[in-house]
Amino acid sequence: MELTNRQERILEIVKGEGPITGEKIADKLSLTRATLRPDLAILTMVGFLGARPRVGYYYTGKTGAEIPIEQLKTLKVKEYQSIPVVVNESDSVYDAISAMFLEDVGTLFVVNADAKLAGVLSRKDLLRASLGNQELESMPVSIIMTRMPNITVCYKEDMLIEVCKRLIEKQIDAVPVVNRGPDGGYEVVGRITKTTMTKLLVDVMNRDLPMKEETHE
């Protein structure tokens, strides 16, 4: 794997001083933690670094030759996308909260009357609404959702690693996988989440990357 200069510097720091927290690495490079987050995620995802909660990052001792990075770079969204959980923009906030907990997801995709993507609902959106002492059963989700065009989307043929980067960089929990219709609207056909990144990392470490199109829930 060809690393950037910054990623090489991160590896040098972790090799010499690990385990070390992301905050300390950022201080040594005079950068913010948010700026380093994508680099740390990539180095961890491909196996150069390991991470322990409340301890920090450590060097695994693995080299590029030991990591199936070339295969990783060829994986597409369609090989890891899972089933989206969708609500209608006319549904109530109460119904959305129920759907989120029943389906055990962190993000809901909102569609309009034409079944096209209209917005996204996060746990934070629903929590804010529920703390407002408002009538949740009569409040439509369209009032509190994040609307198009302020939504990050991806397509089945997109490279999975690039979509994972977007999750990290934008600090969001999920990206809808869409088909674009002739009218310009988006049909939601799947989702990529932070859990997808965990599954990908496990597959990399187990050398069990899919060789054909699969759907992972």
Percent of the chain exceeding pLDDT 70 equals 87
Give residue 215's pLDDT: 37
**5-65 topology per CATH:** Arc Repressor Mutant, subunit A (1.10.10)
Diameter over CA atoms, the chain: 58
Q: According to DSSP H, which parts of 46-109 are helical?
A: 69-72, 93-103
Number of helical H runs and strand E runs in the chain: 8, 8
Domain with CATH 3.10.580.10 in the chain: 77-201
pLDDT digits (tens, 9 = 90+) for 115-163: 999 999 999 888 888 886 678 888 999 999 999 888 999 999 999 989 9
pLDDT confidence band for 212 (50 / 70 / 90):
very low
Q: Which amino acid is at 118?
A: A
On the question of a cis peptide bond just before residue 53, with omega within 30 degrees of 0, the verdict is no
pTM of the model: 0.64
Domain with CATH 1.10.10.10 in the chain: 5-65
pLDDT at residue 209 greater than cutoff 70:
no
Q: According to DSSP H, which parts of 19-139 are helical?
A: 22-28, 33-45, 69-72, 93-103, 123-130
pLDDT digits (tens, 9 = 90+) for 69-115: 566 778 899 989 999 999 999 999 999 999 999 998 999 999 999 99
- Dihedral pair phi/psi, residue 152, rounded to 5°: -85, 125
CATH code, 77-201: 3.10.580.10
